[in-house]
Every structure is written in C-alpha cells, then in structure tokens.
C-alpha cells in the first residue's frame, strides 16, 4: 500500500501509452483524464517517439507531464532504460501500462525501480494474419502477469485473452470501460445538416468508418463492401477517418476500383463527434478488437452499426448493432448495410440511457477509476 496524508498533492499516476495515434487507447485515457478529479488524481504520460503530439499541450494545460522515450521497435533496451530513469527519478507509486502484451517491458523497469503498484491493461486481443506481430503477442502473453501487481481490461473478452480465465473468474481483473462523453456524440439534426453541407454529401447514402489504417481494421475488405454498396446505390459515399501505414495501399485500391470520387480520406480529425452525425451507417469489419471505443461513439450518435463477429458481443450496448461473420462475401455485407434502419428513426429511442446504464458514461466511470487508484492509498 501507498502511504498518503490528506494534505498531500494529488496522486500522480504515470500512463504508458506507446505511440500516440489519436486512436482507441489515446482516446480512452484522455477521456478519463479530462473528467477525473485532478485535485485528487493527476496523470503523467510516457509516449513513444520524440515528436510533439496533438495532445501534448492539453496534457500540460491540465497539470500533467509528458515524457518521450525511444520507440520500442527501434531500440527496446533504450526505451526500457529511459522508462526506468523516469520511474526512479520521479518516485512514482503507480504505473499504468496500456501496451497490452508489451507491458511486460516497462513494468519490468517499474519493478526494478521499486514502484509498488504496477498495472497491466489489456485493450486488445489478436488474430492470425499479422505475421511476426501475431507471433510476438502469443510469445509475450504468458508473461503478462510477471511484473504487474494489478490487472485492468476494457472488456471481459480482452481481460480473459491476456490474463487468463482463472484471474478473471477470481475477480482479479478490473474492468475499465471505454467510456465517452455522451453529450458530445448524441445525435443533433442541425449538426448533421451542417456537416453534410460542408462535405458536399447532401442527399447521399453515407457509410462511415473510424480507425487506423492497419491490418486489424480490415480496410481492404471494407473497400470491397463499399464497392458493392456503390454498385447498388451509386450516390453512396464512404468517409474514412484516421491515418496509418496502410493508407496509401488503400488509396491505390480505391483508385483501381474507380471509386476515388466516392471515398473521402479525411485523416486525423478533432471533429469526429460531428462527423458521425453525417453518416447513415457505421461499418467495422475488424479482424479483432478489445472493445472498440468507436463502436460506443457510433451508437451514441444513433447510428446503425454493422460489426464483424470477431468483435466481442460486449460492444452491443443498444439494438443498433448487427454482427456479421467475416466469412460472408462483400455483397452480403453490402446488402446488410443498405438494409439497416435509417439512423434518424432510432434517435430518441433511449440510446443514451442504454449506454449510460451499461457503464459507458465517462462522467460516472471517471469517478470509479479515481476510487480504484485511491484504493491503493491509506
């Protein structure tokens, strides 16, 4: 346990987030940071890479510190040594690592530095098809609990995958929901009209996707699905929000299929809540997920969601979600996407209430995380 006095400063928890990509992990941690009581709990961040990120200034404005370390894929020993120096110099009592199977490396350094509370957090799972990356995940998974004292996960599925059934069934894995600010995402007709006008997509059937251009998100199949949608409904448009290493490959495929004018690559955006409003259906054909925060956001926006059955059923917080097996051809996915009920007809059907009841309202969940951290203090 950590000794603390009432008059002491906020408990500083160092969050290890890896490379900041404004994706699931970054979004989740920042959602909690914005809503947690920072007079009691403060977050500092360890990030891979030395470049400034879009969230550095915001973190500092809220009282957090930002440390940059060598990307692990370039020099993992240097990265580990830098983490050790940060832990040792700043005398942290709690280290919370969001690196999934890779958490074993920084948590080893936290153990070596004498940090008493070392939290491993599972945000994802794995699937075949990623070559060396998949092999490394399965090689490192048995060591997930070696240097950690406590375990967190975004879902039961992700928790069982990384930490095993025994720890989960014994109540040792603490679920930290990928909660969101429901007010920011709830459907607003005036925003929908404004965004569709700005994007020049009035009167079009709009398919949406938010995610990094990586193998996991299965953009290649998503383009096949949209190609079939476009054949059946030529006035359709696909909005792709995000960046990533496979983006140029996907651009090339879009060009080869003659869909350049109908597929919008919008990049990293700060107005994602507004962009959901412009969509008619959200499609997520991922090979694997922990529990995708984008799925929570899309439901909060009142969008019908067509999601791969490789994603945990825990994402179905509302009746808006339809699961489909990835073995089905693109034409079947397209037909299902087109047959989804129009988003506007589901608005006002209590989706916010359902999501809040399921534990995905950040205002509620931030208080629970605060209590979790303060539970280590007496």
To the nearest 10 degrees (0 to 180), the angle between helices 362-374 and 24-35 is: 80
Spell out the alpha helix ranges (H) of the chain.
24-35, 56-61, 76-90, 104-112, 132-140, 156-163, 165-169, 182-185, 189-198, 219-232, 247-256, 272-278, 293-300, 330-339, 343-346, 351-357, 362-374
Instruction: Please determine, looking at this structure, whether the domain spanning 182-357 carries the CATH number 3.40.720.10.
Output: no
pLDDT digits (tens, 9 = 90+) for 64-96: 999 999 999 899 999 999 999 999 999 999 999
- The CATH number of 11-179+361-374 is which of 3.40.50.10860, 3.40.50.2000, 3.40.50.150, 3.40.140.10? 3.40.50.2000
* Residue pLDDT tens, the chain, 378 long: 555 555 578 999 999 999 887 778 999 999 999 999 999 999 999 999 999 998 999 999 999 999 999 999 899 999 999 999 999 999 999 999 999 999 999 999 999 999 999 999 999 888 777 777 788 888 999 999 999 999 999 999 999 999 999 999 999 999 999 999 999 999 999 999 999 999 999 999 999 999 999 999 999 999 999 999 999 999 999 999 999 999 999 999 999 999 999 999 999 998 999 999 999 999 999 999 999 999 999 999 999 999 999 999 999 999 999 999 999 999 999 999 999 865 444 444 588 899 999 999 999 999 999 999 999 964
Query: What pLDDT does 352 receive?
Result: 87
**pTM above threshold 0.85:** yes
Tokens of 359: 């534990």
244 sits in the region (left: phi over 0; alpha: psi -120 to 50; else beta) called left
Q: How far apart are alpha carbons 57 and 14 in whole angstroms?
A: 17
pLDDT of residue 341: 60
* CATH 3.40.50.2000 domain extents, the chain: 11-179+361-374, 182-357
């Amino acid at each position: 346990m950590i000794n603390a006095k009432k008059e002491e400063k906020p408990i500083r928890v160092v969050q290890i987030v890896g490379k900041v990509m404004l994706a699931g992990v970054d979004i989740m941690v920042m959602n909690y940071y914005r809503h947690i009581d920072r007079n009691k709990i403060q977050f500092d961040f360890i990030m891979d890479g030395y470049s400034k990120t879009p969230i550095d200034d915001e973190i500092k404005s809220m009282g957090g510190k930002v440390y940059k370390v060598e990307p692990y894929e370039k020099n993992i020993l240097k990265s580990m040594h830098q983490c050790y120096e940060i832990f040792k110099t700043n005398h942290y009592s709690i280290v919370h690592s969001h690196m999934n199977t890779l958490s074993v490396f920084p948590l080893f350094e936290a153990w070596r530095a004498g940090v008493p509370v070392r939290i491993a957090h599972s945000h994802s799972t794995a699937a075949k098809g990623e070559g060396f990356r998949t092999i490394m995940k399965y090689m490192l998974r048995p060591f997930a609990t070696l240097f950690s004292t406590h375990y967190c996960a975004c879902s039961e599925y992700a928790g069982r995958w990384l930490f095993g059934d025994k720890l989960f069934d014994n109540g040792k894995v603490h679920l930290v929901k990928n909660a969101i600010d429901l007010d920011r995402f709830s459907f607003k007709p005036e925003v929908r009209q404004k965004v569709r006008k700005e994007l020049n997509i009035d009167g079009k059937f709009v398919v949406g996707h938010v995610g990094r251009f990586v193998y996991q998100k299965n953009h290649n199949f998503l383009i096949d699905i949209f190609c079939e949608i476009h054949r059946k409904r030529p006035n359709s448009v696909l909005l792709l929000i995000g960046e990533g290493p496979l983006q140029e490959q996907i651009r090339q495929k879009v060009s080869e299929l003659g869909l350049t004018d109908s597929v919008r690559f919008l990049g990293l955006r700060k107005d994602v809540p507004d962009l959901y409003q412009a969509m008619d259906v959200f499609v997520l054909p991922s090979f694997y997920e922990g529990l995708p925060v984008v799925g929570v956001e899309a439901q909060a926006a009142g969008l019908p969601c067509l999601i791969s059955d490789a994603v945990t059923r825990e994402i179905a917080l509302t009746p808006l979600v339809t699961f489909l097996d990835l073995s089905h051809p693109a034409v079947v996915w397209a037909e299902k996407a087109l047959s989804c009920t129009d988003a506007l007809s589901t608005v006002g059907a209590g989706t916010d209430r359902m999501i809040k009841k399921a534990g995905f309202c950040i205002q509620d969940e931030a208080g629970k995380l605060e209590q979790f951290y303060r539970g280590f203090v007496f």
